[in-house]
Amino acid sequence: MLLRLRTVPAFLQKVPQALTIFCLILLGYGVKAEEIKSPNGQLTLEFSLQRGGVPTYHLTYKGRDVIKPSKLGFDLKNAPSLTSGFAVAESKQRTFDESWQPVWGEVKTIRNHYNELAVTLTQAATSRIIRVRFRVFDDGLGFRYEFPKQDKLTHFVVKEERTQFALAGDHKAFWLPGDYDTQEYNTTTSKLSQVRALMKAAVTPNASQTTFSPTGVQTPLMLKSQDGLYINLHEAALIDYSTMSLELDDKNFILETHLTPDAAGDKGFLQTPANSPWRTVVVSDRAGDILESHLILNLNEPTKYKDVSWIKPVKYVGVWWEMITGRSTWAYTDATNIKLDSTDYRTLKPNGRHAANTAHVKEYIDFAAKHGFDAVLVEGWNVGWEDWFGEHKDYVFDFVTPYPDFDVQELHRYAAGKNVKLIMHHETSGAVRNYERHLEAAYKFMADNGYNAVKSGYVGDILPLGQHHYSQWTNNHYLYALTEAAKYHIMVNAHEAVRPTGLARTYPNLIGNEAARGTEYEAFGGNNPDHTTILPFTRLMGGPMDYTPGIFQTQISALNPENKSFVHSTLARQLALYVTMYSPLQMAADLPENYNKHLDAFQFIKDVAVDWDDTKVLEAEPGDYVTIARKAKGKNSWFIGSSCDENGRTSTVNFSFLDPGKPYVATIYADARNAHYEKNPQAYTIRKVNVTSKSRLAQYCAPGGGYAISVVPATTRR
């Protein structure tokens, strides 16, 4: 024992013990637990070393197990594991309580209030030190690993993170197949014990996909216990680390981290001092609390930018849906096998279906200006689309050369004259190096031509092959593109990139991400009718999604007779999504011609805010329904959205969030009684009613339907 004690590093012996709880555990014997509670006392986190010096944690909510005692640790490459043989060298607790204001968000002010336990562990046999930092909030737990700077642990390679989440039972899970390259799956809802049997059917085709296990699932993973606990597992502040999936032990209902590897199978190159991302457990017995949680944002660092005045929420239309549906094309010609550096487009015959032409884009600009949109996205403006996909082509786009029929200067002039911005589009085709080579020139081109936002895309396999969309190497790229963009005051909406983990707090020019099955899939066979009742509990936990709602013409064949897909939603529900699917970047994705046929309904999209002072989840049950009310930034008006599953229901709105005693007018955009997402999607009603904080509204939602309500003070007139 004396020998062991001698192995404690000298600096640890200097730690002021009066300020800390200092406990050195005898290796291989006994358990000494430490616990902290959430500020409201409902959550309890207990850390202990199990026999053999194995670090574990245990989380309860109102006395019920959320995470049963679960192991912590790492396997390293060419080095002993960091999973056992630990003793507690130091343990510190503190309380933190601060409020902060996001640059954009669901609420004006966010309270960051937690109790913290930081346990420093020494592995005597290797003289290595790690620290596990737990933060217990009223809405859940975050914890991360910290690797302090030390002599015996400098550079190291993660073979696998060994963090367990031992669940208390065979919970209902809302899951996507674990995949290194895509999140664009429909959610499967099942018991954990059914994951294995349902996996094959869950893995639908994608442009790039790499599943890894018959029981691997993604985060954010939404769970519901049989006794009504809602549990969400995800991660926060994913920086310089590979993305976490979860490997399910479906006998014992233990989930364990499975990191995304690189080409050599390595899962992380770290250098001390270093931290893992936070592993997050959001929990409540009320589903709405999950949606109202800001735990993931709170675990991210405050913004690194001194000036954020250039970052603004955006409502936009775009030259996009007409290509998605197959009506028009990104490509200028029908040529194939194009090489950028030897192709003179002026010599090629246009195909006549190229949407991003100057005249047509002006129509979108006119529409945007007329209806008060901030911006117009234009895809397919730049050369290369004839030969961009599926061949692992490296030099696929240069991001600065327009097609002959797209006049950059003229469109900039025209849009500026109407106070409309154009949104740039950078499809990388997964050729990450090629994009980085062109990044500075592309951003400068944007700045020179009046663009202040870019939608980027990573369709297809990441190049060089062997890297994945969620490898540390690729994750570093997304952040590089984001921070380089900030230098040019450019906002980024990255599609097919890594799922967000609250990084937009730190880098608020990340105004959008896809990272899930968006509206585009409604033209590729459809999303499940309950899709938008689940996404807020899963994908949106990490950050906003550019879901691109607002499709009024839900029959794709109306745009392209060959495409028999239809949008699995009523028109009214399409309006609701502007509220239920929070994003500071919202598209009205349908074509102007379709909006012109329903200008009464379109009014809601024109009116709805994209930035908020407050948010109330009125009703929520993952997979069944979501009803949310939000208060517009700097205004006294509210917007309510409700989305329900394929069964339809009658929703109840309690207007108690309104200022007491004040009269309001609510405009209700709702499914007609005979509406149905498949059979009668465009049947909607619009009515106005007077409401106060005492009002209650029972509102019908059709199967696959929903409703949207704008609530303005009665004195206000449009």
Q: Which residues bind a copy of itself (CB under 8 A)?
A: 149, 154-155, 157, 262-264, 266, 269, 271-273, 336-337, 339, 387, 391-394, 433, 436-437, 440, 464-467, 473, 476, 480
Residue 147 corresponds to which tokens in the numbers above?
A: 């690797």
- Residue 465 or 689 having the CB closest to a copy of itself: 465
Residue located via tokens 């309380």: 95
CB count, 10 Å around CB of 54?
A: 18
184 SS3 class: coil
**DSSP, res 463:** B
Question: At closest approach, how far in Å is the CB of 499 from a copy of itself?
Answer: 21
Do residues 625 and 701 make contact, with C-beta atoms less than 8 angstroms apart?
yes
Question: At closest approach, how far in Å is the CB of 551 from a copy of itself?
Answer: 34
- Residue 100 or 389 having the CB closest to a copy of itself: 389
Largest CA-CA distance found in the chain, in angstroms, rounded: 84
Question: At closest approach, how far in Å is the CB of 477 from a copy of itself?
Answer: 8
**DSSP run (H or E) holding 602:** helix 599-607
- Residue 494 or 711 having the CB closest to a copy of itself: 494
Residue located via tokens 């931290």: 275
- Cβ contacts of 536 within 8 Å, gap of 6 or more: 291, 580, 581, 582, 620, 626, 628
| Bridge partners for 161 per DSSP | 74
CB count, 10 Å around CB of 5?
A: 11
- Residue 77 or 111 having the CB closest to a copy of itself: 77
- Residue 444 or 694 having the CB closest to a copy of itself: 444
What is the per-residue DSSP string for 227-253? TS-EEEEEEE---SSPPEEEEEETTTT
What is d(CA 443, CA 454) in angstroms, rounded to the nearest whole number?
A: 9
**Alpha carbon 596 to its chain's center:** 32
Active site residue 391: no
CA proximity to 438, closest of 398, 486, 472 = 398
- Residue 149 or 662 having the CB closest to a copy of itself: 149
- Residue 401 or 654 having the CB closest to a copy of itself: 401
Question: At closest approach, how far in Å is the CB of 648 from a copy of itself?
Answer: 47
- Residue 316 or 388 having the CB closest to a copy of itself: 388
- Cβ contacts of 421 within 8 Å, gap of 6 or more: 314, 374, 375, 376, 415, 450, 451, 452, 453
Question: At closest approach, how far in Å is the CB of 618 from a copy of itself?
Answer: 45
Residue located via tokens 């991001």: 399
**Catalytic residue (one of 386, 520, 522, 619):** 520
Do residues 427 and 383 make contact, with C-beta atoms less than 8 angstroms apart?
no
CA proximity to 119, closest of 55, 66, 41, 75 = 55
Do residues 192 and 173 make contact, with C-beta atoms less than 8 angstroms apart?
yes
Residue 448 corresponds to which tokens in the numbers above?
A: 């020179």
Antiparallel, parallel or unpaired: β 664-671 and 625-632: unpaired
Residue located via tokens 């968000």: 105
Question: At closest approach, how far in Å is the CB of 392 from a copy of itself?
Answer: 6
Do residues 243 and 498 make contact, with C-beta atoms less than 8 angstroms apart?
yes
- Residue 180 or 655 having the CB closest to a copy of itself: 180
**DSSP, res 441:** H
Question: At closest approach, how far in Å is the CB of 84 from a copy of itself?
Answer: 25
Question: At closest approach, how far in Å is the CB of 326 from a copy of itself?
Answer: 22
Q: Is the peptide bond before 561 cis (omega within 30 degrees of 0)?
A: no
Question: At closest approach, how far in Å is the CB of 444 from a copy of itself?
Answer: 11
- Active site members: 520
